[in-house]
């Protein structure tokens, strides 16, 4: 049983690796499942056992992205020895940092903005997405709650939820425009320091015990750089399979 499960997971990972490469080269809507099966070294029937259509594959790739750079990155950042404010900002800034460095050629992280993808993907994959997003949000919220319990910030539940929404809007807005060839050059000309300052301003309402200082930007940048390198070769698939196999 264990060997069968391991083989299944290896096949799915191989299909997703090939799919991501194909989407980068030709785009999502040119993705051929027949060609994908050939490139993945499996039969078409085997591929359809795991994925109902290309939208299902697209959502699976999106889940990889959220799992690694949302869930796992937040976990890693929260464990470092920086102030609560610096770590929380780093949890949001890692997305901005990555977009500032490189464009997401396949647009994987922006599949959430394509309604037809979610209309045709399987309920199982969409359920996994919801669980990953809920986990990511909960990690951020619980981190702020822990800071409050330890006397590191003063904020109501409503203020915490509003802040999570606002910093998410700032991060998503930057990432979306930075990944558009028409806007990218203008958007990435904006220094990371300005994004950091915008988030820091929003967080002032928390009345941090250890406030964000002029040196905090360099520490946050050091932290996101370190975690980005740490996770660059990290395989997130097992975390996702554990959710799907429950």
Structural domain spans, the chain: 1-51, 56-244
Q: What DSSP state is assigned to residue 27?
A: -
With a cut of 90, say whether residue 80 has pLDDT above it.
Answer: yes
Task: Kindly state the tokens that stand for 56.
Answer: 């299902």
Q: What is the CATH superfamily name and number for domain 1-51? A: Homeodomain-like (1.10.10.60)
- How large is the average pLDDT for residues 52-81? 94
With a cut of 60, say whether residue 99 has pLDDT above it.
Answer: yes
Give the per-residue pLDDT at 1.
Answer: 56
- How large is the average pLDDT for residues 160-180? 84
- Separation in Å, CA 126 to CA 3, 111, 112: 27, 12, 11
Give the per-residue pLDDT at 110.
Answer: 80
CA atoms 2, 6, 7, 11: torsion sign: positive
> In this predicted structure, which of 111-125, 142-156, 172-186, 217-231 has the lowest mean pLDDT?
172-186
Cβ contacts of 137 within 8 Å, gap of 6 or more: 164
Helix spans in 102-178 (H): 115-120, 123-149, 157-178
Task: Kindly state the tokens that stand for 115.
Answer: 């309604």
- How large is the average pLDDT for residues 233-242? 90
């Amino acid at each position: 049983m264990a060997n069968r499960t391991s083989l299944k997971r290896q096949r799915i990972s191989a299909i997703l690796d090939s799919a991501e490469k194909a989407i980068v080269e030709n785009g999502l809507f040119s993705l051929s499942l027949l060609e994908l099966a050939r490139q993945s070294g499996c039969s078409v029937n085997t591929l359809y056992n795991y994925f109902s259509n290309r939208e299902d594959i697209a959502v699976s790739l999106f889940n990889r992205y959220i799992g690694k750079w949302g869930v796992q990155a937040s976990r890693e950042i929260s464990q470092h020895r920086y102030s609560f404010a610096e770590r929380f900002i780093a949890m949001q800034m890692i997305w901005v940092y990555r977009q500032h460095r490189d464009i997401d050629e396949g647009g994987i992280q922006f599949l959430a903005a394509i309604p037809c993808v979610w209309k045709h993907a399987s309920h199982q994959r969409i359920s996994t997405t919801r669980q990953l997003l809920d986990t990511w949000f909960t990690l951020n919220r619980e981190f702020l709650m822990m800071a409050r319990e330890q006397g590191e910030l003063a904020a109501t539940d409503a203020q915490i939820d509003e802040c999570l929404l606002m910093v998410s809007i700032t991060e998503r807005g930057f990432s979306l425009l930075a990944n558009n060839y028409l806007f990218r050059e203008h958007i990435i000309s904006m220094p990371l320091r300005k994004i950091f300052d915008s988030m820091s301003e929003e967080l002032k309402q928390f009345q941090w015990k250890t406030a964000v200082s002029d040196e905090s930007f360099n520490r946050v940048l050091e932290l996101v750089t370190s975690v980005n390198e740490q996770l660059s070769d990290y395989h997130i698939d097992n975390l996702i399979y554990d959710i799907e196999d429950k």
